[in-house]
Amino acid sequence: MNIHEYQAKELLAKFGVGIPAGHAALTVDEAVEAAKKLPGPLYVVKAQIHAGGRGKGKFKELGPDAKGGVRLAKSLDDVKHDAEEMLGNTLVTIQTGDAGKQVNRLYVTDGVDIAEEYYLSMLVDRASGRIALIVSTEGGMDIEEVAHSTPEKITTITIDPAEGFMPHHGRAVAFALKLSGDLNKQAQKLSKQLYDAFVALDCEMLEINPLVETKPDSSGAAQLLVLDTKMSFDGNAMFRHPDIEALRDESEEDPAEVEASKYDLAYIKLDGNIGCMVNGAGLAMATMDIIKLNGAFPANFLDVGGGATKEKVTEAFKIILSDPAVEGILVNIFGGIMKCDIIAEGIVAAAKEVNLSVPLVVRLEGTNVEKGKEILETSGLPIVSANDLGDAARKIVAETKKAA
């Protein structure tokens, strides 16, 4: 699960992390009011979408010379003008795909006098089974390019979960960022605060880009501040964090995926034309692979889970069919806990209820498979039965081509 930048910053602030002051806004008036609460004279108006690359992004509705999704504003009038141009329009960034994302929220924040931009992120590294801290002196909008052409400028530090965050981890971060004196101390403290937040909030990923060093103030003091952050959470842990779950912005998610999550179906939309309904994530992956092997592409990943009921199967059909790209459906279910005859009854009932209009190939295996196949055959519906996974994939690809 993802949240917006301003929400992530509010969460991090509770752990003592330094962030510039700012306020979220849903309307132009709110954006101006938000700016009035800030000291000025430099404000930054930032589009809040669940995608990065906003600074270099372009608005579909505005000309190619218009400014992007992160704008420096030097007056309240500028804030008003920027808010008017951004709200309701579609921002296309390197991470949104060509369709872009509509901007419905803004974050109006203090303009910061930047001396240096650094990069710091944390993620659960499956290879080492640890939380990995990734830092670079080359932060800012071109980090992907740095990772590609000068990977030696990126340092990875992993933390043993049994040991936890130790002072030497903080020193390693500060060293990698080449900081000295007070800034070095700040980096050590900040990395501990971020690690604490990451663990306490069950994060999957936390990215700070840029982490900035401010220009020294009149007393010569500089600060490390989090200027941009992206945060995502382990969905399976969200039952422990109702306050974080409340931050979910469904308008940022695929409508079919939102619908699927209501029924506890693991659904991810893909670009192909063969809808898949499968039980078990491993079987779902294998099904997608074998569809590709036969020259077609899956329209989705869908795991109906172990205890698929008739209601769940019906909802799954509806969700698959809500995708206009779907030209055929392949059901591949292994009846273990669920018996094949029960599943077959569910499929027949669901196919009748949704008025199935595309070819349907069903491969059942497991307990009571003969009874299940008989139910499909005598249903009077044009359901094509398959014997094994290869047979099923060949049949759905052929049926779809025939129907097209």
Scanning 164-254, the segments in alpha helix (DSSP H) are 167-176, 181-200, 242-245
User: CB-based contacts of 334: which residues, under 8 Å, 6+ apart?
Assistant: 279, 280, 283, 365, 366
| Contact set for Mg ion, span 186-215 (CB under 5 A) | 209
| Size of site (CB under 6 A) for ligand ADP | 20
Is 18 a binding residue for ligand ADP by CB under 6 A? The answer is no
Q: Are 347 and 318 in contact, with CB atoms under 8 Å apart? A: no
* C-beta of 72 vs 200, nearer to ligand ADP: 72
What DSSP state is assigned to residue 298? B
Say which of 5, 85, 116, 207 is annotated catalytic. Answer: 207
Is 40 a binding residue for ligand ADP by CB under 6 A? The answer is no
* C-beta of 85 vs 341, nearer to ligand ADP: 85
CB neighbourhood size of 258 (10 A) = 14
Q: Measure the N-to-C terminal CA separation of the chain; round to a whole number of Å.
A: 37
Query: Does 55 show up as a binding residue in the annotation?
Result: yes
Task: Using the rule CB under 5 A, give the single segment among 187-195, 225-233, 292-300, 314-322 that binds Mg ion.
Answer: 225-233
Q: Which position among 82, 85, 116, 117 is part of the footprint of ligand ADP (CB under 6 A)?
A: 117
What is the chain's alpha carbon radius of gyration, rounded to the nearest angstrom?
A: 26
Q: Are 231 and 6 in contact, with CB atoms under 8 Å apart? A: no
User: CB-based contacts of 302: which residues, under 8 Å, 6+ apart?
Assistant: 260, 265, 266, 267, 268, 275, 276, 277, 278, 284, 316, 319, 320
112 contact, one of Mg ion, ligand ADP, none, CB 5-8 Å limit per kind: ligand ADP
The least CB distance from residue 40 to Mg ion, in Å, is 23
Active site residue 119: yes
Active site residue 345: no
Binding track, positions 205-224, relative to ligand ADP; x by CB under 6 A: ----xx--------------
132 contact, one of ligand ADP, Mg ion, none, CB 5-8 Å limit per kind: none
Identity of the residue numbered 243: D
The least CB distance from residue 136 to Mg ion, in Å, is 13
CA distance 206 to 232: 7
Is 7 a binding residue for Mg ion by CB under 5 A? The answer is no
Is 140 a binding residue for ligand ADP by CB under 6 A? The answer is yes
Enumerate the active-site residues. 119, 207
- Which residues are annotated binding-site positions? 46, 53-55, 112, 117, 209, 228, 279, 336-338
- Which residues are annotated binding-site positions for substrate? 279, 336-338
